[in-house]
Amino acid sequence: MPIKKAAIYIRVSTDAQAEEGYSVEAQKEQLTAYCVSKRIKHYELYIDGGWSGSNLARPEIQRLIQDVKDNKISHVIVFKLDRLSRSQKDTLYLIEDVFNPHDVSFVSLNESMDTSTPMGRLMIGILSAFAQLERENIRLRTRMGMKERVKAGYWMGGGKIPFGYDYDSEDGILVPNKDAEKVKQVYALYIAGKSPQVIANLLGLKYEKLVTQILIRKCNYGVIEYNGEIYQGKHEPIISKETYDMAMKCMYERKAVRANSTEHLLTGLVYCGKCGAKMRYIKWGGQGYKFMCYSQQKSKPYLVKDPDCDQPKISAEEVETMVKNAIFEFADNYALDKEDKIIEPEDTISLLLSQKEILEKKIKRLYNIYAESENSILLDTINDLQKQLEKINNQIDFEEQNSNILQLREEKNIILSTVKDIWDILSVQEQKTIIRKLIDKIIITDAHITINFSI
């Protein structure tokens, strides 16, 4: 029988490389000293340098697991429990499902424990739970700190820096660079009617997708978008908000034109279920049109998700027929409860706007008085009125959004109640409009079709 060896496992995460006591050399020194003190002559080092302990996707821990399963290991020795893993689930898996079934003892120097004893096994469970709790707390604190940082107007840091900016790590803000002029030109050319591909060619940009990425990036007009929220940034804007809004309006209008510029019913809605790429209509000899995955067409490499995608081409006519039948079936099964019927509300927005106007006049009048007397009581009153004004503005935003949602629902209800009766007399463009109001996405996997309705 081959002699079993002790496994000395060392892990240093990327954010702890310089942390005293956690370096590779520091751990190696103490762990090998332990082996000498216990007269363990045969040991091997397993070192994961620069790897997080949040999961087991580490090369050396995987090699260690395999050696344990091959009955080559007698002990696993670590400097500290969280060096093995910061996940309670992974720690217990290693001990209960890997080490114990192969009679491998687990030793942690820092916690002075040995799984060969019942108390050692109990302590492992308790400490691994604390290790995971600390990891989750770190993640929560990081997220909260990042949000506060962004709210204060500082860039998130790390990741990809927006085209046209450099990141000043000392001040924590974005700084326009030599490409900022190109960003301005992108907006100017797009608003003037040039396509993203033409703009990319004119400005020497790599591909048309970069042009679109520049156009939709809100930081270009001086704000920072984080988790769906918009915050005013400290960085210098490259363009004005008006320029951004005009570009977005042009983009919306062009999408509508493109959608209506073809007789194909499902353009832009069909996706490959195998690789996730979009699918397009392609002329197929005398058989009409078929849908083909963009991963199989190399002319637009940025649309390729998997160059080896084997999604078969499928008859476009068959897909269109299935979609039409699915809409009819959905309409038959769609029942609008009486409680859900749209009731015309009172003109709340007008009422709120009236209240807002009164408050703004009061605040302006009090500011004029305060400018003359600087009475602190007046300032308190102004602050109270400002809070009331903020609440009214929030209510106005809510009511406007709610009104848009109600109108959209009513429109879809009308479509579903009449679609079967009017479908055959509609033009292709009108049918396309209805399909886009009812369907978000169509996914084709081999010959199976999944339709995601937007209701």
Whether 130 and 35 share a structural domain = yes
Torsion sign, CA atoms 393, 398, 401, 402: negative
> What are the φ and ψ backbone dihedral angles of 19, each rounded to 5 degrees?
-70, 130
Whether 252 and 305 share a structural domain = no
Separation CA 408–CA 400 (nearest Å): 12
Which pLDDT value is given to residue 15?
A: 53
Question: Which of 65-69, 201-205, 421-425 has the highest average model confidence (pLDDT)?
Answer: 65-69
Which pLDDT value is given to residue 342?
A: 42
* Mean pLDDT, rounded, for 207-228: 89
Position 160 in a domain = no
Q: Could you tell me which residues are beta bridge partners of residue 281?
A: 291
353-357: long-range contacts (C-beta < 8 A, 24 or more apart)?
A: 353/396, 355/392, 356/389, 356/392, 356/393, 356/396
Q: What is the pLDDT confidence band of residue 309, given thresholds at 50, 70 and 90?
A: very high
Q: Which domain holds residue 30?
A: 5-148
- Check whether 406 has a pLDDT greater than 70: no
Whether 245 and 267 share a structural domain = no
Whether 362 and 389 share a structural domain = yes
Q: Which of 13, 74, 87, 295 is catalytic?
A: 13
- Is 299 in the active site? no
Whether 321 and 392 share a structural domain = yes
Which pLDDT value is given to residue 147?
A: 78
Exposure string (b/e) for 4-22, b if CB count within 10 Å is 16 or more?
bbbbbbbbbbeebeeeeeb
Tokens of 329: 């079936």
Nearest to 106 by CA among 126, 129, 80: 80
DSSP summary character for residue 102 = G
Higher per-residue pLDDT: 16 or 43: 43
Q: What is the pLDDT confidence band of residue 407, given thresholds at 50, 70 and 90?
A: low
Position 153 in a domain = no
Q: What is the pLDDT confidence band of residue 44, given thresholds at 50, 70 and 90?
A: very high
Which pLDDT value is given to residue 341?
A: 44
Whether 318 and 425 share a structural domain = yes
Q: Give 248-299 pLDDT, tens digit per residue.
A: 998 887 776 665 556 788 988 999 999 999 999 998 877 789 999 999 887 7
Which pLDDT value is given to residue 45?
A: 95
**Is residue 54 within 8 Å of 135, Cβ to Cβ?**
yes
Global pTM reads 0.38
Separation CA 242–CA 392 (nearest Å): 25
DSSP letters along 291-331, please?
A: EEEGGG-TTSGGG-S-TT--PPPEEHHHHHHHHHHHHHHHH
* Residue 36, Cβ density class (10 Å: 0-12 exposed, 13-18 middle, ≥19 buried): exposed
Of 260, 284, 311, which one is at a domain's C-terminal end? 260
Position 417 in a domain = yes
Position 155 in a domain = no
Higher per-residue pLDDT: 308 or 401: 308
Position 356 in a domain = yes
3-state secondary structure of 9: strand
Separation CA 324–CA 319 (nearest Å): 9
Whether 217 and 284 share a structural domain = no
- The fraction of the chain above a pLDDT of 90, given in percent, is 30
Which pLDDT value is given to residue 18?
A: 46
Phi-psi region of 157 (alpha: psi -120 to 50; beta: other; left: phi over 0): left
Q: Give 318-370 pLDDT, tens digit per residue.
A: 999 999 998 888 887 765 443 444 444 446 767 777 888 888 888 777 777 76
Whether 298 and 216 share a structural domain = no
Q: What is the pLDDT confidence band of residue 129, given thresholds at 50, 70 and 90?
A: low
Exposure string (b/e) for 153-177, b if CB count within 10 Å is 16 or more?
bbbeeeeeebbbbebeeeebbbebb
Q: What is the pLDDT confidence band of residue 5, given thresholds at 50, 70 and 90?
A: very high
> What are the φ and ψ backbone dihedral angles of 98, each rounded to 5 degrees?
-115, -55
The total number of structural domains in the chain stands at: 3
Separation CA 76–CA 54 (nearest Å): 19
Whether 287 and 202 share a structural domain = no
Of 260, 292, 316, which one is at a domain's C-terminal end? 260
Average pLDDT along the chain: 81
Q: How many CB atoms lie within 10 A of CB 431?
A: 18
**Is residue 199 within 8 Å of 211, Cβ to Cβ?**
yes
Position 385 in a domain = yes
**CATH code for position 219:** 3.90.1750.20
Q: Give 135-180 pLDDT, tens digit per residue.
A: 666 666 666 667 788 888 888 765 678 999 998 888 888 999 999 9
- Check whether 74 has a pLDDT greater than 60: yes
416-424: long-range contacts (C-beta < 8 A, 24 or more apart)?
A: 416/330, 416/331, 416/334, 416/455, 417/331, 419/327, 419/328, 419/331, 420/328, 420/331, 420/332, 423/324, 423/328
- Check whether 400 has a pLDDT greater than 60: yes
Which pLDDT value is given to residue 427?
A: 77
Which pLDDT value is given to residue 93?
A: 83
Tokens of 244: 């951004």
* C-alpha 81: how far from chain center: 32
Position 156 in a domain = no
Whether 332 and 438 share a structural domain = yes
**CATH code for position 77:** 3.40.50.1390
Which pLDDT value is given to residue 339?
A: 42
Whether 296 and 419 share a structural domain = yes
Separation CA 320–CA 315 (nearest Å): 9
Which pLDDT value is given to residue 344?
A: 45
Whether 130 and 240 share a structural domain = no
Position 159 in a domain = no
Which pLDDT value is given to residue 374?
A: 62
Of 260, 277, 303, which one is at a domain's C-terminal end? 260
Q: What is the pLDDT confidence band of residue 408, given thresholds at 50, 70 and 90?
A: low
Which pLDDT value is given to residue 140?
A: 66
- Check whether 428 has a pLDDT greater than 50: yes
Which pLDDT value is given to residue 338?
A: 36
Higher per-residue pLDDT: 379 or 96: 96
Which pLDDT value is given to residue 69?
A: 94
